[in-house]
Amino acid sequence: MRDLLGQVLELLPDQAVALARIIDRTGAGPRETGAAMVVTGDGRVLGSLSGGCVESAVLTTADQVLLDGRASLERFAAADQLTVGLPCGGEIEVFVERLDHTDLPALRALHTALEVHHPVAYATTLEARPDRKLLRPGDCAPWRGLDHDAAALLAAGHNGLIGAQECTPGLAERPRTFVQVFRSPARMILAGANDYTRALTVAAANLGYHVTVVDARETFTTPSRFPAADEVVVDWPHRYVEAEQSAGRIDERTVLCVLTHDPKFDVPLLATALRLPATAFIGALGSRRAHADRTARLREAGVPDTEIARVRSPLGLDLAANTPEETAISILAQILATRGNATAQPLADLDGPIHRRPD
């Protein structure tokens, strides 16, 4: 949608257009969620959704949407000889809606935010007559019970569906809604090339984190061992983090976890991480004895106790986790609770709504 926005703004003062976007994808697919195609009233097509696999069917839908103004939701699965679909075997859901001059203020605001590289999200309810909302970090105005879910996606930096489940959209108070986020994903930097790191990369990737694994041991630090990671870097972790900070690629959403169990890696990295101007979470895996040893070494390195106290260690919540996969869930649960300033208590023991509004 970003690439087509300027052209849409040029068209809307004079004519309506149909905007088709991929709002969900399962399995292999030619393009990611948010990919867009625009159809004008005179039959021009801008952009693409699949490189030709489903465009003809979407064109027919777009013509009807332009005619009656009612949005349409289409699902395309693997193609066979008799149906339109995806030869790659995946499945996509496409939402087609009508845009006209009344949508110009919000789209112009979106365009302005993108030009100055400000993070922003564009939320659209998947209704016959869609409701739309532009969200920026810090926005707290209520919007159909969806504002906090949309804000969470904006903070994480990835697109997503919120609201009603597909099976009961008409009965839900919060309509099913696609949130398209224009922001780089939140980062998770994992120091240590081991089985716990591999399990955590898989779980964190499912939450939308851009995951980097870094370790100085070249033998263990290979992409084949960490297929779910976005980056696998052979370097001393503290040196890598210093370089990333200098490049401006660490911010207040960045999670940094030390999983090495080795003081020669742990201590320089934690000392570096605690000097960073902004991070979301700093954790270190290990026993209480291991953390006591790390604490003593950090003091010897000149790190004050007030800074050492920011390190979450032993890392994770008490879930009786033992395997790497269970430990990954324990760690992510603590990260989520910290991010949302939540209690991490059982929901059954708390009063009020289960989807608690952040403080």
Six-digit token pair at 45? Answer: 């097509």
Instruction: Write down the pLDDT at residue 5.
Output: 94
The DSSP symbol for 81 reads: S
Residue ranges in the chain whose pLDDT is less than 70: 28-30, 51-53, 78-89, 165-172, 353-359
Write phi, then psi, for 284 (nearest 5 degrees).
-140, 125
The span from the CA of 254 to the CA of 2, in Å, is 25
Instruction: Write down the pLDDT at residue 198.
Output: 97
Q: Write the CA distances from 103 to 13, 15, 87, 248, 359, integer angstroms.
A: 10, 12, 35, 35, 32
Cis bond before residue 142 (omega within 30° of 0): no
Instruction: Write down the pLDDT at residue 66.
Output: 95
Instruction: Write down the pLDDT at residue 359.
Output: 46
Q: Which helix (H) or strand (E) element contains residue 46?
A: strand 45-47
Q: How many CB atoms lie within 10 A of CB 136?
A: 13
Q: Which of 136, 156, 121 is nearest to 340 (CA)?
A: 156
Instruction: Write down the pLDDT at residue 89.
Output: 54
Secondary structure of residue 291 in the 3-state scheme: helix
Instruction: Write down the pLDDT at residue 352.
Output: 72
Question: Which residues, other chains included, contact 357 with Cβ-Cβ below 8 Å and sequence gap of 6+?
Answer: 148
